[in-house]
Amino acid sequence: MSDAGPVRRPLVMGILNVTPDSFSDGGEHATTEAAVEHGRRLVAQGADLVDVGGESTRPGAARVDEAEELRRVVPVVEALAAEGIKVSIDTTRARVARACVGVGAGIVNDVSGGLADPVMPGTVASLDVPFVVMHWRAHSATMQNLAEYDDVVTDVLAELDGRVRALVGAGVDPARLVLDPGIGFSKTAEHNWQLLAALDRFVATGSRVLVGASRKRFLGSVGRPVDPATGEVAPHDLRPVDARDVATAVVSAASMRAGAWAVRVHDVPATVDAFDVTQALLTASGAR
């Protein structure tokens, strides 16, 4: 046994999507209440922070307008923050980021890394909160047409480095930046696996690293029969979305071993379990 101290566990970021398909039964107030209640549950289950988002980024998804996004997320962020819960706001819009930080959000999580809204870099500089810079090439409607790389790990690292330079140039403190390889965004399943296998290269940049693989499609195709005609798993053969949490937890364990700062997940208990097991193993092996 070593006395080097406890193994570092990544933070657990619980996902709270405030979109009509997630909490849609009642009117506006009922939706807000249900979302806040779900946020509380995520924290009770072990989430360190709750990531509130009002716009779906599923491949092919259409955009929502800004007023609607604000209407969805601001009351939820405000209510959770008022209870002392740490909240990040998942948005590509500077005005949404500013409004949510104004009511208590402590992190801005931008899947476009500040590319989608030209005002975002300057806004983040003035808000002075941590900013998640995810690798992104285009909005959801077209992003899967852009899944082409010479070497996905090298290319994603280089494109993220470009974003970091632009953000720092706009006045953002580099210590505030968190890098995210953007699993599932303009990526094939093979690209996602290559990125996950190379997380240590992202960690080696010295920045904090966030991993968001939870329930994504590539986890639905693991171990499923490949259609010989297309070389892919047919949509009806994919593991259903709610049956991808064990696979997600395995990715969480791998992310911990690679030194990730945080993982973004829907099912918090499975990831907490995965971290407990990984911690026990690493402690027994004397690794830190």
- Sequence-distant contacts of 217-226: CB under 8 A, at least 24 apart: 217/59, 217/184, 217/189, 218/183, 218/184, 218/188, 218/189, 218/192, 218/193, 219/244, 219/247, 219/248, 219/251, 220/244, 221/189, 222/247
Contacts of 162 (CB under 8 A, 6+ apart): none
Work out whether 15 is an interface residue with ligand PMM (CB under 6 A): yes
For ligand PMM, which residue of 8, 58, 165, 288 counts as binding (CB under 6 A)?
58
Q: Which of 137, 176, 216, 239 is catalytic?
A: 216
| Cβ distance to ligand PMM smaller for residue 57 or 123 | 57
Q: How far is CA 181 from CA 12, 113, 133, 167, 168, in A?
A: 17, 11, 9, 17, 19
d(CA 205, CA 116) in angstroms, rounded, equals 24
- Which residues, numbered 70-99, are part of the site for ligand PMM (CB under 6 A)? 90
Active site residue 86: no
41 in catalytic set: no
Exactly one of 12, 16, 17, 120 binds ligand PMM (CB under 6 A); that residue is: 17
Residues 170-229 close enough to bind ligand PMM by CB under 6 A: 180, 182-183, 210, 212, 214-215
Asked if residues 228 and 284 have their Cβ atoms less than 8 Å apart, the reply is: no
Please list the residues that pair with 109 across neighbouring strands. 90, 132
Does 62 help bind ligand PMM (rule: CB under 6 A)?
no
Nearer to ligand PMM, 58 or 165 (CB): 58
Q: Does 109 engage in binding with ligand PMM (CB under 6 A)?
A: yes
Contacts of 97 (CB under 8 A, 6+ apart): 89, 91, 105, 108, 110, 120, 123, 124, 127
Of 57 and 221, nearer to ligand PMM (C-beta) is: 57
CB of 1 to ligand PMM, least distance (A): 36
- The binder of ligand PMM chosen from 108, 132, 233, 274 (CB under 6 A): 132
Helix-helix angle 94-102:66-82, to 10 degrees? 20
- Which amino acid is it at 153? V
Closer to ligand PMM by CB, 51 or 78: give it: 51
Distance CA 247, CA 250 (A): 5
| Closest distance of CB 284 from ligand PMM, Å | 31
Give yes or no for residue 69 binding ligand PMM (CB under 6 A): no
160 binds ligand PMM (CB under 6 A): no
Catalytic center residues? 216, 264
Chain residues that interact with ligand PMM, rule: CB under 6 A: 15, 17, 56-58, 90, 109, 111, 132, 134, 180, 182-183, 210, 212, 214-215, 264
